Structure 1
C-alpha cells in the first residue's frame, strides 16, 4: 500500500491553532475560577443559613439538648423546628452533636448515636463555624443530582455565653450550587466562545490576507532572485539552472549551444551619457535579443553589458553561427539615448556541448574565451578553438592577481634601445613591462595585457608603468644621462579626461620635466572617439609631452587625423619592416610611410630591425630611427646601463655595418630617449 506523505498544515491553520489553543485554555481557567467562586459563595451562604437555623430554632434549647439526653419531648420539638426547613429543600439533613462528637439528634434517626471525628466539628467546638463539601454518600444515588457531594456546615451551639455545648451540622444539597455553576458556566462559555468566534473570524481573515500577501511576496522574491531587475531577463543563477537542465535532457547525439555576448565600448556610453542612458540601451538590447531567438531558446543578462544565450537543440554549428549573425543584424539598427543616435556593436563567443565542454561551467568558460578572441580580432563572433587560450581562464585569473603584483613590486620594466640612422646615436629605448610571477616565473606582456585591457585593472597597471618609468628616468638623470620616457596608452586610458591632471601630478611628484615623457597611442584608439581623444592628447601636448602613433599602417588613421592631432612621430609596424627582405611591396610601403611622415613634419621610427641588411635598407628609405634585436633585446635597468656603456666604448654610439664596423664616425652620445610600454 502506498503511503502518502501528510501535507504540512498551511500558514493560516498554524496561526489559527497557535491562537485558539491559548484562548481555549483561558476559557477553561476562567470557567474553573467561576466555579470556585460560586462554591465559595455557596459555602458562605451555607454558613449564614446554618447560623440562621440555629437562632430561629432557639440556640439555647439546642445547647441544652446537646449537653444532656434528648427526651421524646425535645425530639418532637426539634422535629417540628427542622421539618419545615427540610421540607423546603434548602436543607437535606440536620444533626446535633455533643462535645464528644456523638450525634444526639438527627433528622435521619439512623444516624443518631454515631460518633464523628470530622475536623470541621473540632473547629465548631472551638467556637468557629466551619463548612465544606461532605463526603459522598455510601448508598448509590437515585438521581444524577444526588451523586454530587453535599455541603456541610458545623455551627457551634451554646447554652449561654460560655464554651459551645455542641455543634449543629446542617447538610445542604449540592444540586442548586452545581446548577448555578453550570448555568453561570454556560453563560460564561457562551460569551467567551461567541467572542472567540468573532475574534477567530477576524483573525482568520487577517491571517489569510497576510498569508496571501506573503505568498505573493515570496513568489515575487523568487522571481526577482532569478530575474535581472533591469531587463526582466533571467539572471546568471537561473541561466546556469536552465543550462544544467538542457545538458541533462540533451539526447545522446544532440548538441547544446551557449553564446556569450559582450557589448563593445559600452563603458564609454556610461561614462559619456551616464548610467541612466546606459541602462536604457541595455533594456533595448534585451528586447531585441528576445526577438531573435526561437521558442525554447533562452537569453539572460549575466551582469553589466554581458548577455548569454542558450540554444538547447542544435542541429549543426552552422545554425549557431547563423543565430549569432541574426543577433548582429538585430543590433544594426541604431539606438537612441540621451538625445543621440548610437551604433551598438557586440562580440559573441560560441561554445558547443559536448565538443567544447560537458559541464555548464566549462561551456561558459569556453564561450568566454571565444568572445574575447572575437573582440580581439574584431570579427563580431567566434566559435571556441583551443588556440584561443590566450583568453583562457588561467589568464583571466591573472587579472585578479594584478593588485597584489603592483603592491608587491612584481611588475618590472625591461628596456630595448632605439638609435638614429643618421648618426647611430642612441636616442630611444623601449621599455616593456614584465611580470615576475612568484609561481609562473617571468611573464611576457602578451600573457596578461590583452585580457587586462578589457577590465578596470588596465588603469592602475598603466599608472604604475608611468610612475615606474618616470622614476627610472629621474634616476638616470641623476647619473648624468639625459633620458626621456614614452608610455603606450590603451584606448580606455586615452579616453580618460582625468588623465592629464593625474600625469601632471605624477611629473611633479617624481620631479621629471614633462618633455621627458612621450605617450604612444594606436590608430584604433584615435578612431574610437576622435573628439575625446583629441581633447586628452591636446591637454597632454600643452603640458609639454610628445605624442607618437604606434603600429602605423595597421589601423584606420587618416591624413585629417594626423593633421589635426598634436602628433610628433609615427612608428611603422614591425610586420612591414620584417617582411622587406622577402617582399619588395613591404619596402615600398615603408618608403611611402616615411615620405608621408616627413611631409607632415613627423619623425619616422621603424621597429622590428633584426639584421644589418634591414638596417641599411631602412636608412636608404629615409627612416629616422631604428629599434629591434639588431641593436639589443629588452634589458633590465642594470643590464641596459651595462649595454649602453659597452655600446659607447665599442662604437661610440654608432651601430656598425657588417663590412666595416668601425668605418663610421664616432658621434658624441646624444640625449637618450626611453619608451615604456604597458603592452
Structure 2
C-alpha cells in the first residue's frame, strides 16, 4: 500500500486555476490492448509507467492504447479546461473521468461527439472539454486508436490560453497555405500563358502536397472535413501517391530527362507506375496503404535527388535548384517519418518538419521555374538574334544570289539575263536598237590546251578592254550603271552589247568593226602576244525581230555566218536566215546520205621532192547531194561536229579508205595514204580502236597509213589527244601535223607528240615565190623539221617556180594543183598508171 501510495502520488498533478497550460506526458501510465470498455481496462493489473516528458509514440499498430493519470484540483474550476491531444491523426478518442477511483464515471466524451457539437472553435488537434465543476482528486482514462502511427501527446489547456494558441496556429497555417495559394495562382498564370506541361504538373504537385499537409496537420479536420475522422485514413496515402506521381511527371518535364538518359527515365516511369498502384490499393486497404505511401514517398524523393544530381552532372544549370529543393523536402519528410516510425522523439521540430520542408521546396522549385523562364527568355532572345542574323544573311545571300544570277561568275560583268531585261525595256519603248554578239573561238582552245585559269585571265583582260572601249562611245547602252558596265557575257568566250541606233552617228558595221578592234584584239598572256580572232553577229530591232528571243536567235545566226564566211562583222539578213535553214536541212539529210552512200572519197597525189614520182595521196571527202548539189567538205565536217555525227561520219570515211587503200595495193600502187582526223575522233578511244581494227582486217601495212591532225585539234583535251596519237604511233601508223604555222606553233607540244610529218599550210606556200616573209617562214619550218628528224609536206604547190624553191630547200613531198586536183579512186588509179608510164 505504501508503494502504491508513493507511485500514485508521484503520478498525480495538482491543477491550479491561475495556470493556463500543463503537460501530462510524464504523469501518465498506459497499456496497449484490445479492451474496448473502461470496465475491462480497470481489471488490468499491470500498467506501463512513463518517466520522462516525451510524447508517447507507439509507431504503426492497429491496437488501441489506454492512458490514465491522476489530477488534484484543490478548488473547483471557474473556467473551461480542455484535454488537448496535439496529434490530429487519431481516429478514435474517448475520455473517461472517475472521482476517487469510484465507478460509474462522472464524465465521458469522445472526439466524434466533441466535433459534432462543436463545443470548441475550429481546432487543429483533438480538444476534449472537461466539466466546469470538477474538483478534488480525479482520474482521467483515455482511449485512443489510429490507422496510422499511434502517438498520444497529452496536455491540459485553459480555454483562453487555448484560443490564443489556436489563433497563433491559424496565423501560421494561413501563412503556409497563403504561400501555397500564391504559388498556385502564379504558376497557373504561367501555365495558361506558356502552355508548358511542367507548370501544369507543378500545380498538381502543389495541390497534392497541400492535401497531404491538410491530412497530417489537422487543418483539414478543422476546416474542411470536420466530424469525419476516418477521412484522413484515405487522404494520407492517396495524397502521398498523387504527390509522388506528379513530382515524377514534373521532374521529367522540367529536366527533359527523357531526352538525356533512357535509364533514369525508365526508373521514373516505374516509380510513377507504383504510385498508380498505390492509389488503387488505398481504396482497398488504406491502413497498410499509409505504410506503403511512406515507403514510396521515400523512394521517390531519393530517386528525384539522384535524377537531379545526374542532370547537374550533365550540365543542366537549373538542376541545382531542383536538387536543393528536393533535398530540403527530403530532410523535412525524413524527420517527420522517423518520428512517425518512433525512430526520433516527437517534438515541435519533427511535427512541423515536413511542412517547413514542403514550403521551402515549393519556393525553391518556383525559383527554378523562374530561372527556367529566364533561361528560356535568354535562349529565345539569342534565337531571335540568330534568326535576325540568319535573315540578314539570307537577305545577303539572296542579294548575292541575285547578283550572281545577273552577273557572270568569271568577269563579274552582267550576263544574258541582265542584257535581256535591258533589251526588253528598250524594245517596249519602241527604240531602234542593235544587239551585237561577239565570239572569240580561241578562248576555249586556250582553256583546253593551256588551262582554264589562264583562259579566264585572258578573257577577263579582253572583256575589260572591250568594256573600257565601249564606255567612251556614243550610242552604246549602259547595262548596269552601278559599275558602269556596257557589255554582257552570254557564255564563256562570248560577249554582247546593245547599240541605240537613234544615238549612233555613222554606219553601223564600221562602228562595230572599230569597237571590236579591227577584227582582232591583242592580249598579253604569259610572255607572248596572242592574237584573238573573233566572229560578230548583229540583229536589229524591230526589223529583225519583235521579241528578245527572236533577236537573240537572229544575232546568233549572223554570228555563225560570220564564222563560216570569215567575215568579222555580219548583220542579219534574209540570206542568213536561208543559210541557217539550209544548215538545219543539211544536218537532217547527212545521216541518210551516209547510209545511202552519197559521200565518196577523192584522192590528191603527193609527189617526191622533185615532183616527178608519186609517193603518196591524201584522202579527201566529197558530198555530191542530189538535193543540195556539191556540199563543201568544211561545211560537212562542221555540221557533223556540231550535230554529234562525227563518229558516224568518220567510221564511214575510214571504212571506205581501207577499201580504197586495198584497191591501190591491188593496182600495185604501194604509196602512203593520209587521212584527216577530227578532234572528236582523237578524244574517242573507241574510234581509234575501230580504225586500227579495220587496217588489220584489210591487211594493210601500218606504215602506209598516215593520220593527219590539225594544230587547232591538238588544243582540245591535250592529254586525251596525245593518248590517241601514241596508240596510233605504237601500232606502226604515222602521224602528220596538218596546217603547221597557222595555229599556235608551240614547240612545247612538238616534243611530246609522236609526230612523223609536218604539213606546211598553203597560205605560206602559195606566196613564197613573191613574198620574202612567207619564204622565210617556210625556210625556218623546214630547218625545224630537219632538226627534229621530221618529214615535210608542202601543200598548195601550183607553179614550177614554187616547186623548184621547195626542191632546193629540201622539202620531202609536194602536193598541189601543179600535179593534179583531187579525183575519185578509179580516176586516180588511171592517173597514177599514166604518170608511172
TM range (shorter): 0.3 to 0.5
**TM-score by structure 1 length?**
0.48
Q: TM-score, normalised by structure 2?
A: 0.40
Larger radius of gyration: 2
| Higher-RCO chain (CA-CA 8 Å, sequence separation at least 6) | 1
